[in-house]
Amino acid sequence: MGFDGIELLLVQMTSEENGYLQSLKKRAFHAGLDLMGFSTHQGFVYPDKDKRQAEVDKTIHQIELAYKLGIPTMRLNTGRWGTSKNFDELMANRGIEPTLEGYTDEEGFEWVIEAIEKCIPKAEACGVVLGLENHWGLGRTAEGVKRIVDAIDSPWLMVTLDTGNFLDNQYEQLEMLADQTILMQAKTYYGGGKWYTLDIDYEKVGSIMRRANYRGYISLEFEGNGTVDEAVPRSLSLLREHFYYQL
């Protein structure tokens, strides 16, 4: 379809065995594609310290997988309170959910910061920049993401910036995180969105990122109901039109 690289989503991979990982790396090289991003899932918003440590251990393992694949950045989540019945309910509530009874967001931020700090030494040793995504939970807003990234203050923790996960004041929030972004995920919704549809002005988004001197990858995240054969090339054309640099 004409892409330059591919971002792998861990939950869609069929194995974590080294032979499988190396076969992916070989296949990508043969196709002329960079393995340029690794999206993983974890969450640190748990009152139980042992459960948070288990998520830290899982994340450290995922960093090692990225290293084996030769991928230089890995998407990271804060996690969320889990008080929604399911993801559909979370989306119906625009990503907002109440805290667990007896706990506060302040405690949640402390847990997340403490947990991610434990992952930084492994990220540095492996040369894998962690990119905290604005992906619901405590990372639902730019303020929440920035609070965590600024508190840890490490070059090995930056931002994976998702254009479709800010449902209010999206351009102001994108701009707030633009200069700390290591990877941008750009959503399109051709055919109507699976949970919601945003009318994203990519000319404006492109201008925001150029002002921040962002020169990294734009990873297409197609979240529409249109057919892949029609919607993905159309999305690629849209992104190529609005993300460019004059040399």
Identify the band that residue 159 occupies on the pLDDT scale cut at 50, 70 and 90: very high
Q: Report how far residue 221's alpha carbon sits from residue 46's, in angstroms, rounded to the nearest whole number.
A: 28
Residue 247 lies in a domain: no
Calpha distance 40→236 (Å, rounded): 23
Residue 97 has a pLDDT of 94
Determine, yes or no, domain membership for 196: yes
94 located within any domain:
yes
Work out how many domains the chain is built from and give that number: 1
d(CA 191, CA 173) in angstroms, rounded, equals: 26
Domain residues for 52?
5-242
CA-to-CA distance for 1 and 54, rounded, in angstroms? 39
At residue 147, the pLDDT reads 98
Per-residue tokens: 183: 């990877």
Inside any domain, residue 116: yes
Condensed to tens digits (0 to 9), the pLDDT of residues 183-202 reads 999 999 999 999 999 999 99
User: What is the DSSP-derived secondary structure letter of residue 168?
Assistant: S
Show the tokens assigned to 168.
């209010």
pLDDT, tens digit, 9 for 90 and up, residues 8-66:
999 999 999 999 999 999 999 999 999 999 999 999 999 999 999 999 999 999 999 99
pLDDT in tens, 195-238: 999 999 999 999 999 999 999 999 999 999 999 999 999 999 99
**The domain that contains 161 carries what CATH number?**
3.20.20.150
Q: Which tens digit of pLDDT belongs to each residue from 76-89?
A: 999 999 999 999 99
Predicted confidence (pLDDT) per residue in 128-147, tens digit: 999 999 999 999 999 999 99
Q: What is the pLDDT of residue 238?
A: 96
Does residue 15 form part of some domain? yes
pLDDT for res 246: 56
Note whether 73 and 182 are within 8 A (CB): yes
DSSP string, 149-163: HHHH--TTEEEEEET
Looking at the predicted structure, is the pLDDT value of residue 70 above 90? yes
φ/ψ of residue 8, rounded to 5: -90, 140
134 located within any domain: yes
- CB count within 10 Å of CB 159 equals 27
pLDDT (tens digit, 9 = 90+) per residue, 99-122?
999 999 999 999 999 999 999 999
Residue 183 CA to residue 199 CA, distance in Å, equals: 21
The backbone torsions φ and ψ at residue 116, rounded to the nearest 5 degrees and listed phi first, read: -65, -35
Q: How confident is the model at residue 244 (pLDDT cuts 50, 70, 90)?
A: confident
